[in-house]
Chain A
């Protein structure tokens, strides 16, 4: 059954799960859990919040499985839910300060070189400091999504996504270069 599930597309797996096939969901979850968590982690304030948002996102997928219709790619469906959860989370924590780069939640603890470790931490901090739209576009792009996919998830035009990406990279280069120079 597992092999058959692996041969199926995301949308087919989702329909199977909607029909009661739990194994189909397990396959679907294993395909997308890490990348989704990475997207949420890079877009949220801290790791705990990321875990909560990831759980809320998958919970929504489970609850809405009955009404799921494969009118779009499953990834678009999944990340659209995650994005809305992130927006809600940002609204709830609008008054809370964004986690700083020195937070011990930085996942780059495995970095072998201290300089790289610090640079990654600084980059993470710079990403979190971006405007939500730019951060979202940048992270999704780095997680491998096409401009069209990002546009679909963000409910924006492709040109708008390009613009957001351009501004995000420009800001990150400026901040990271400054931080990098300071560190150097």
Chain B
């Protein structure tokens, strides 16, 4: 601030300061009014993006309503489903690493869960119904065996098609027998070639041509070793049940010893 004791300041302020001329004021105020920025020129940069997002959301909502799909409001009941999935998923993942024998999960449990879900899909559920369904899922999950006890069938139960489940179960039921037959055939092949049972026979040995095996059996028969030929033929049938067997060999086994 100017020093009041300063004689220069005193003299400077001894007369009124010059005032802005009225004509100048009028000119400037008119200029300000004429060139006033438009009110909407300072819209935030995110406003157009937000508007676009709102339009997209509205269209999506209308689409869902017209198509009869569950809206986000309907999906508010989704915790019932999410709880089920989130609790089942770790069990399934742990089963993947479990290579022991398979034990089926109780069949009634998925039915209870799906029942809860079905009631959800039918109508907008009342809060009490949601709680009941959630309780049902929770009880089902808690009553189920631990994750380590869940075996392959429980995973398979999540497959969408029951037919696939049946097919896979049938294949898995046959698989051990097939494996055993293959192993025996490999062993017998090894026995045929080396005279000793090769316990290290690998699946690569399956490449042995069935026809070649049959030729070898014929050779045994030709050489008079009928007993070994019969044994080999039995093993061959076990290993290749669908492979046609020449009549001469068929008669060999059918003929009384």
- Give the residue among B13, B16, B28, B35 with the most A Cβ atoms within 10 A: B28
Query: Which A residues touch B212, using CB under 8 A?
Result: none
- Partner of A18 from B1, B29, B37 at Cβ < 8 Å: B37
Contact A62 B14 (CB under 8 A): no
- Distance in Å: Cβ of B245 to nearest Cβ of chain A: 96
Contact A146 B1 (CB under 8 A): yes
Q: Taking the complex as formed, is A8 at the interface, i.e. its CB lies under 8 A from any CB of chain B?
A: no
Q: Taking the complex as formed, is B2 at the interface, i.e. its CB lies under 8 A from any CB of chain A?
A: yes
Q: Taking the complex as formed, is B19 at the interface, i.e. its CB lies under 8 A from any CB of chain A?
A: yes
Which chain A residues (17-42) contact chain B, with CB distance < 8 Å? Answer: 17-22, 25-26, 29, 33-38, 41
Contact B21 A51 (CB under 8 A): yes
Cβ-closest chain B residue relative to A143: B17
Contact B28 A59 (CB under 8 A): yes
Contact A58 B28 (CB under 8 A): yes
Query: Which B residues touch A172, using CB under 8 A?
Result: 8
- Partner of B17 from A29, A35, A59, A111 at Cβ < 8 Å: A35
A20-B36, A38-B18, A116-B15 known; A54-B8 Cβ under 8 A: no
Q: Taking the complex as formed, is A163 at the interface, i.e. its CB lies under 8 A from any CB of chain B?
A: no
Binary flags per residue of B1-42, CB closer than 8 Å to A gives 1, else 0: 110001011011111111111001101110111011111111
Query: Which B residues touch A169, using CB under 8 A?
Result: 6, 8
- Give the residue among B20, B33, B39, B42 with the most A Cβ atoms within 10 A: B20
Query: Which A residues touch B35, using CB under 8 A?
Result: 62-63
A38-B17, A38-B18, A110-B16 known; A66-B37 Cβ under 8 A: yes
A58-B31, A59-B28 known; A123-B18 Cβ under 8 A: no
Contact B16 A142 (CB under 8 A): no
Given pairs A22-B33, A110-B15, 12 additional interface contacts (CB within 8 A): A18-B37, A19-B37, A20-B36, A20-B39, A26-B29, A37-B18, A37-B21, A47-B18, A107-B16, A142-B9, A143-B17, A176-B8
Instruction: Give 29 pairs: A residue, B residue, CB < 8 Å, sorted on A.
Output: A17-B36, A17-B37, A20-B36, A21-B36, A22-B32, A26-B29, A26-B32, A33-B28, A34-B17, A36-B20, A37-B18, A50-B18, A55-B24, A59-B28, A62-B35, A65-B36, A65-B37, A107-B18, A108-B15, A110-B15, A110-B16, A116-B11, A123-B8, A123-B11, A141-B2, A144-B2, A169-B8, A173-B8, A176-B8
